[in-house]
Structure 1
Amino acid sequence: MSSGRRPRYQLLDLLRGLAIIAMVVFHIAWDLYYFGYSDVDVTTVLGWVVFQKSILSSFLLLVGAGLVLAHGRGIRWNMFWRRFGILVGCALLVTAGTYWMFPDFFVFFGVLHAIALFSLMGLAFLRWPPWLLVVIGVAVIAANFLYNDPMFSSRELGWIGFWPSSPPTSDVVPIFPWFGVVLLGMAAMRLILTSPLGEDLGQFRSEEPLARGLAWMGRWSLPIYVLHQPLIIGVLWGLTQLQAPVLSPAVLSQSQDFVKSCTTACLGTGSDLARCDRYCGCAVEQVEVGNLWEAVAATNPTLEQNTQLRAIAQLCTAMADKAP
């Protein structure tokens, strides 16, 4: 049975507004690269990668904090299921839209999918003591760095985590490690509410135009998230129809994308860059010579395809282990 509703915390809305602005900035940079208006690949440049991970961490910490605020005194099921249904619907729109635009790299478990599932999972931890939430949260995060297996690089299992290289998608937010961040957000809010900061947080109000604007964006962060990418992409696509980008198209060729994914997976095993360059250079050459792209892309390769790919792996491992 649920109890009274807490007042809305403007500071959390403000922080959520800052996070959505940061995400829009990141997506603009990604879109500029994708359409060939920028030569900065934000998925590989360290500063941009840290920026993106920080944005995602901020959102998930706020998801955990929001769960405690909304349901810490008792789960308000009607409100929860209404919000959960909206999240799932928006997540499916993202999947459909990205499948239409990028069928080979569509979003099957992105930010909205994760927030919906993590919100549901988080309900089970609402009454747990903060110290235990911290322990479990850190364990969930650490587990992803201590264990990996190539079988989790498929779309069927990629939403769990534990993959040495990302599944074929433009965005994925797996349970491991990211649910751990939600648990840390829950622990932090539990501690805040039992301290003098809890009252200060509830009473914080700013009438400054900037603060009110950010808080407004935080309250409407979901529709902003859903709508901003189609709008940005539409504008950039329109520009390409008026004038082609000055830069060469930024989208990787099939071979380049293979080498990039192969190198990431190889480095994840602890091999040095020189060995990974030799291995992946050999592998892409063998795949191209044998025209085995269908086998590489197959989710469930046939016995013959598996045999061909194993032969390439054995050959290229021997080549990579040779002294340069």
Structure 2
Amino acid sequence: MGRNVNVNVTAKEETAPKPRYALLDELRGLALISMMGYHAMWDLVYMFGLDAPWYGGLAGFLWQQITCCVFVLLSGFCLRLGRHPIRRGLIVFGGGALVTLVTLVAMPADLVLLGVLTFLGSAMILTGALRPLLEKLPAWAGLAGSILLFVVTREVNSGYLGWGDWVIAWLPGTLYRNLLTAFLGFPGPGFYSTDYFSLMPWLFLFWAGYFLQKMVGRERMEPLRASVCPPLGWIGRHSLLLYLLHQPVIYGVLMAWNALR
């Protein structure tokens, strides 16, 4: 009987769920805090008139780009670790639709159309649908191809293939027509959004994270289960809810601060 008990205990231990990759949650939490800080500065500068020339310069640009790239890359990396990517994508996409609706009604001058949540939800849905095909690619080829495509399509929103001053080819203006083309990466005349993430180029960075996880593999990720800063992990695990709440909370705090000055 004692032997059977030991066997049962061992079986339970083997089937028990392993702890989360705490460091990934904490990195997501850190990226979210950085994003919240950037948005708070945006409110201070463009809505409350704070004089901060550095924010509109290189320092502010790097802050924005590094935060966005880490967030998107990490989202793609983590997607491959989870289940039900399409269901998760629909939830995140719904969060993006809610942000659009709220800003359209309450702050039309600061409309968020095709923002980061809409993009992430779309990327999760597309990746989930294409997962059987993506899994057939070798990890190194998928990673290299995704990075290359991200670099080449980095400036499609501006009308050309390339990066910065490096122009590979100008794209025909007929691509830039309406909301659907803006969703793909080709915003038409008059398109406006205070937070715009199109499928191109960002889907390729998302896929770079996806293939990076495939290359690393779960076995080499075991050290990532160790926690360094639990509060950051809590923020990372509740990133969607906190993202939805952060802008109205920040705006409310700044409004109160401005009224009391």
TM-score exceeds 0.5: yes
Aligning the two structures, in what range does the TM-score lie when normalised by the shorter sequence?
Answer: 0.7 to 0.9
1:1-324 equivalences under 5 Å are: 7-40=19-52, 44-70=56-82, 76-77=83-84, 80-123=85-128, 124-125=130-131, 126-127=134-135, 128-137=137-146, 138-145=148-155, 146=161, 147-150=170-173, 152=176, 154-162=178-186, 167-193=191-217, 198-206=218-226, 208=228, 211-243=229-261
Partner Cα distance (1:37, 1:27) in 2: 14
Larger gyration radius, structure 1 or structure 2: 1
Q: State how far apart, in whole Å, the 2-side matches of 1:84 and 1:66 are.
A: 13
Which segment is superposed worse, 84-93 or 139-148? 139-148
CA deviation after TM superposition for structure 1 residue 100, in Å:
2.2
Comparing 83-92 with 183-192, greater Cα deviation is found at 83-92
Conservation of the 8 A alpha-carbon contact between 2:19 and 2:225: no
Unaligned runs of 5+ in 2: 1-15, 156-160, 162-169
Between 1 and 2, higher relative CO (CA 8 Å, sep ≥ 6) is seen in 2
Give the share of equivalent positions with the same residue, in percent.
Answer: 30
Q: Closer, same or farther in 2 for the Cα pair 1:121/1:42, shift >3 Å?
A: farther
What is the identity, as a one-letter code, of the residue corresponding to 1:16?
A: R
Distance 1:42 1:226 in 2: 27
Residue 131 (structure 1) shift: 2.5
Q: Secondary structure at the match of 1:122?
A: helix
Gaps of at least 5 residues in structure 1 are: 71-75, 244-324
Deviations 1:279-303 (A, max 9, x none): xxxxxxxxxxxxxxxxxxxxxxxxx
Q: Calculate the TM-score normalised by the size of structure 2.
A: 0.76
Give the letter for the 2:222 counterpart. G
The question of whether the paired residues in 2 share the 8 Å contact of 1:141 and 1:181 is answered with: no
SS of equivalent to 1:159: helix
Instruction: Give distance in 1, aligned partners of 2:186 and 2:22.
Output: 36
Equivalences, count: 227
Compared CA separation, residues 45 and 104, structure 1 to 2 (3 A): same
For 1:129, the aligned partner's letter is: P
Task: Normalising by structure 1, report the TM-score.
Answer: 0.63
User: In structure 2, what is the Cα distance between the partners aligned to 1:153 and 1:60?
Assistant: 26
